[in-house]
Every structure is written in C-alpha cells, then in structure tokens.
Structure 1
C-alpha cells in the first residue's frame, strides 16, 4: 500500500513537471511567432496594460495540460476524459480564432455551448442535485442539463472577464485547482487530481512569464482564459457530485459543497455578477465591456498589476479557507456569508477610489454636476 501511495505521488510530480516544462519551453517560440505575425493585444480604453503584448500564451497552457493529461492519466479509470479533451479542443479553436482574427460574441457563445454539451451529454459530467439549496434536492434530467450548461458557460465567461491584469486569471486558476485537486486526492480520486495537477503545471509556467518576465511578456488570450474556466467548471461539478455520493459520516464529506465551490471561485463569480448587476441598474447592457471590475479598481488604486493581483489572490485564498472551515453550514447560510463578506471587501477599494477621484476633481466639475 505504501509503495502504491509513493508511486501515485511520483506520477503527480511527473505530471506537474511535464506540463510545466512543455508550457515553459513553448512560450518563447510563441512570442517570436506573435511578433512575426503581429498577433498582439493592443491597449485601448478598457485595458489596463500600456504596451502591445503577444496573446498566444493559451496555446502553451493547452499543450502542457493536454499532453501531460494524456500521458499520465489512466483513461480506463476516468472514461469521460476523452470528452473533456474533446470539449477542450472546441474551446481551443474558439479561443484561437478570437485571439487571431476576432470572433463575434454569438459565435463564441455557441462554441462554449457545444463544448459544454459534449462534457454534459456525452461525458455525463452534470449536476444532479442542489444539495437542499432553496429546498431543492435531486434534479430531473432536463433540469440537470440546463443547470449544468448554465454553470459551465457562466464559469467560462467569468474567467474570461477577470483576465484583465497580469497573473490574475492564471493565479486564481492555480489556487482553485489546488483546492479542488487536493480534495480529489484526499478522497482517492487520483485521475481527477492528476487532471488538476496538469492544469496547475501549465498555469505555473505561464504565470512565470506573464507576471514576472519583461523580455518574454505574454498574455493567455481567450484560448487560455476559456480553457481554464472550462476545466474548473468541470472540477466544480465533480466536486459537488462526488460529495453527493460520499457517506455523510465520511471525514471528507462537505455538506455545503455548492457554497464551497462558490468560495473557491469567488473572484470570477462574484465580480462578474456584481458588474452585471451594476450595468443593468444603470440601464446598460450587462454584456457591455467597461472598467468596473474589481481588478480595475485595485490597479488604479495601487498603480501596479503585481500589487492588485497579489491582493486578489490573497483574498481568494482567504475565501477558500473560510469556505472549507464553515463547510458544515447549510448551503444557503454559507452562500449568504460569502456574499456579504465579498460585498464588504469589494466596497473598500470602490470607496477609496471614489474618495481619491473626488479629491482630484476641480471645483468647476462639481458646479457642473449640480447644474
């Protein structure tokens, strides 16, 4: 048993290292290709970066993740892995076209639905219960289908939307994968844990270039952000479904698993919902891009991508910790607690920034506002 345990740990390290190395060695050549073909993200009124930057980092992440997964994961023990890879390929090509020549929101949305449908209807990765949230337990097939589709597409787009400053999307992806993957390992779901490790390896290599490098600066683009959201949505669904299957007396049973999932993914989920609510309250389309995201506020306050990202990653880590700590609560109770804390924490940079902006405004602007 000890030998088997040791072998599993060795495989995990091999998966991590291979995914990391494939991504790491792929990025410099991709930057050269991007430069040769003028494939850059050009700064505009909505972006927080000031220099044109290559956007093909997602290709490297995808390569490291898929190759490491296919080499080390035992397909016989996780038969739906083929559908995860198939869905990832759909996401890859949707993101690739958007990164290179652009893609309409509708076509992008259709691509996400196709990827989600593959993993739900062919792979059988779906939500079958709400764990008593709002008094709802088991779901029928149709309800399960639509809820699973909504969750996957929502998380994909949430990660796409937070990919606005250096290291944020990849950093949150690493923390979330560690949280889900660690729990999968604890309950003996080695293949899912390996899938999480494969994603972590690719994201760590990308994070090194995106967050720290000046010479080889690169963005993950839509390929990367959509892929990270897609895989983490799958992890969230499996996290909830496996909890529903575990005996309640088990040491690793998590009563409020849907709320814990929200806590693990709090940065993309809460920020997306918050921004959409604000837009609708102002009579603006909830899908119209702007600079109301929390990372925009923190970047303007700190003047630094690294500081803003570091703050948000620490906050995300705090939410992961408190979610697991309070996981014995009811789903609704923990969800309310997380939302209240997130609302309070989000209001701090908002009001600090508002106060700073008011100090900088000339008196004439206040008179104009009054008129």
Structure 2
C-alpha cells in the first residue's frame, strides 16, 4: 500500500509539471515575464524564471494526494513553509526584492517548522563530544542549518539542470532511506519533490521553445524541503532499527548536500577576501569554472552530480567502517573542498602554460 502512495507521488508530480509548464511559458511570453539579462549570467537569451511555479504545483498537489491516510502531523506546517517560500521567491523572480526581505521570510519559515512542527536537531551524535542538547542550542543550530541549506541551493542555481540535479539526488537518497526505515510519509514528500524536479529538469536542460529557469521560487522551495529531510534523517537515526541505522548520520547527510554548501562557503570566502559583500554576485562558482573547461551545461551538471555521488559513497563507506563521526565530517569536508578546487587549479595551470608558451615566428 505504502509503495503505491510513494509511486503515486512520483508519477503525479512528474506528470503535473510536464502538463503545467507549457501554459506557464505561454503566459510568461504574453505578459513579458522574463528574468532581466545580466552580463554575469551564462545565458544569452531571455528565459522565463517561472520553473518554480511548476515545481510548487507538482509538489503541493502530489504530496497532498499521496499522503492521504498517512499520519503526518507536521505536514501542514511544512506546506505553510513551502507556501511562504513560493510567494517570496515568486516576488523576487518577477520584481527583484532586497536580500534582507528574502532572508526575513526564510527565517519566518524556519521558525514555523522549528517551533510549531518541532522539526529540529535534538542530538549532535557525538560531534565535539556532545550528544543531547538543550532547546535553545537545538533552535539555534537548526535555524542556522535550514538557512544555510536554503541559501546554498539558491546560490548553486547557475547552469542548466544543476540545482535540479542536486535536488533530485538528495531527494532520491533520502526518499529511499525513509522508505527502508518505514517513514513512508517522508518518503512520499521526497519522491514528490523528485518527480517535480525531474520534469522541470527535462524542460530546463532539453527544452527549446519551452525552456524555463527554476528561479528563486524553485530553489528556495527545494532548499527548504531538503533541509527538512536532513533534520529528519539525523533525528530518525537516533531511534531506527539497527538494520538501516547510519551511525555517522551528520557526516552522511552533509555528504548528500555538500556541493551547494561547499560552493557557497567558497564563493563567500573569496568575496570577503576581496573586501566585497559576501552576497554580491559574480562568476566565481565552481560551475562557472567548469563551464569554461567543458563548454556544456549538461556536462557541467553531470560532472558535479557525479562528484556528489562519489562523496556520498565515500561517506557511506567510512561510516560502514565505524570511523568516528568527527573524523568522518573532516574527511568528507576536505574531499569536498579538494573536488571544488580542481576546476580553478586546471584553469590556472592552462593559463600559466599559455603565458609562457613561446610565440610562433
């Protein structure tokens, strides 16, 4: 019965997004709802940034229908958070609002989930020698984690298919694990997100007349839901059966979402060192560097998602060997940093070779 609900969420969300994208694009073209062209962006054409509207419709409709009959007390608060992300993201896509206003709404959504739905970290799994934590510490760590993941997915949306590809990977891994541990309500949500992102991915990467971008609407919704999955993954691992328990849950969940987090940390560090605002736009993201090397959005997306799969496999491997959770986190973090730096190192090497190459007579 539960597998039918999960498949319903996947198929229905995928189908809904496939159906609603063409009319959304027709409306966008008729009303001239296009993302303003900017020099730093990697596209040379105006494209509607309304993919998040389709993702929202697909996720909301399929998750409401597929969770019917399942006990899920936090569901209404998750939907409330998603709706807040939808409206602030849509306003930013169509009108452009200040980062401060967008951040305030993100905080409000996170607070709703933490306080009303009680979706929060209650245990650090031995990180820094700490386990059970008080409510204030729990609230602070959870709020920071949610905001970090939401904004990381917002910032990683720089080339076709990348944010969707990373979101699909995370939703699939969490969705399968939730199913194996019989948390079917969470698996439904994960596969509803997976189906919505998969259909959007087809239009975003392979679309011509029907091409559209995810926009802030889609990336904020995706980031919020992934942050919820991360918290539930860590909390459920405290009580789940030994057969599917992940001892180093913080390290494994970090590996699942490491690409956007490392990229955000990297670009913000560069901006601060250059004495600029950490939120100022530029082309220093890893995907921009890879695009210079590979000259293809799809190749960049597949390369980065493939690297993410590798890091997840490494995290699961060292977790299976029973490595201390702190060491697991360090290994995953260092590997993530090394992989993120490779494109820049290659570009510098090629530039130095070009500089010292003797001129032809």
Q: Shorter chain as normaliser: what TM range?
A: over 0.9
* Residue in 2 that maps onto 1:179: 173
**Aligned equivalent of 1:196, options 190, 200, 225:** 190
> Deviation at 1:359?
4.9
Cα distance in 2, alignment partners of residues 298 and 212 from structure 1: 20
Indicate how the Cα distance of structure 1 residues 75 and 223 shifts in structure 2: closer, same or farther if over 3 A, else same.
farther
Give the conservation status (yes or no) of the 8 Å contact 1:75–1:81.
no
| 1:235 to 2:245 alignment | no
TM-score (normalised: structure 2): 0.95
| 1:294 to 2:286 alignment | yes
Cα distance in 1, alignment partners of residues 305 and 67 from structure 2: 29
| 1:90 to 2:84 alignment | yes
* Residue in 1 that maps onto 2:274: 282
User: What CA deviation, in whole Å up to 9, does each residue of 1:246-276 have, x standing for no partner?
Assistant: 35xx011111111111100011011111222
> Deviation at 1:302?
1.0
**Aligned equivalent of 1:304, options 296, 300, 310:** 296
* Residue in 2 that maps onto 1:349: 343
**Aligned equivalent of 1:14, options 4, 8, 12:** 8
Cα distance in 2, alignment partners of residues 159 and 318 from structure 1: 19
Cα distance in 2, alignment partners of residues 346 and 151 from structure 1: 21
Give the conservation status (yes or no) of the 8 Å contact 1:42–1:51.
no
* Residue in 2 that maps onto 1:68: 62
Cα distance in 1, alignment partners of residues 115 and 142 from structure 2: 10
User: What CA deviation, in whole Å up to 9, does each residue of 1:20-78 have, x standing for no partner?
Assistant: 11111110111111111211123322211121111101000000001011011146511
> Deviation at 1:137?
1.2
TM-score (normalised: structure 1): 0.92
Cα distance in 2, alignment partners of residues 357 and 209 from structure 1: 35
User: What CA deviation, in whole Å up to 9, does each residue of 1:204-257 have, x standing for no partner?
Assistant: 10001001112211001000000000000000000000012235xx01111111
- Pairwise mapping of residues 43-54 of structure 1 onto structure 2 (< 5 A)? 43-54=37-48
* Residue in 1 that maps onto 2:260: 268
User: What CA deviation, in whole Å up to 9, does each residue of 1:294-338 have, x standing for no partner?
Assistant: 001001111111111110011111112222222232221111111
Cα distance in 2, alignment partners of residues 360 and 32 from structure 1: 47
Give the conservation status (yes or no) of the 8 Å contact 1:179–1:320.
no
* Residue in 1 that maps onto 2:245: 253
What RMSD over aligned residues (CA atoms) do the two structures have, in Å?
Answer: 1.5
Cα distance in 2, alignment partners of residues 285 and 358 from structure 1: 29
* Residue in 1 that maps onto 2:313: 321
Cα distance in 1, alignment partners of residues 256 and 114 from structure 2: 22
SS at match of 1:54: coil
SS at match of 1:225: helix
**Aligned equivalent of 1:167, options 147, 161, 166:** 161
Comparing 10-19 with 72-81, which one deviates more in the overlay? 72-81
* Residue in 2 that maps onto 1:368: none
Give the conservation status (yes or no) of the 8 Å contact 2:110–2:143.
yes
Give the conservation status (yes or no) of the 8 Å contact 1:74–1:191.
no
Give the conservation status (yes or no) of the 8 Å contact 1:177–1:197.
yes
* Residue in 2 that maps onto 1:3: none
Cα distance in 2, alignment partners of residues 215 and 329 from structure 1: 51
Which ranges in structure 2 are unaligned for 5 or more consecutive residues? Answer: none
Give the conservation status (yes or no) of the 8 Å contact 2:286–2:341.
no
Which ranges in structure 1 are unaligned for 5 or more consecutive residues? Answer: 1-6, 364-371
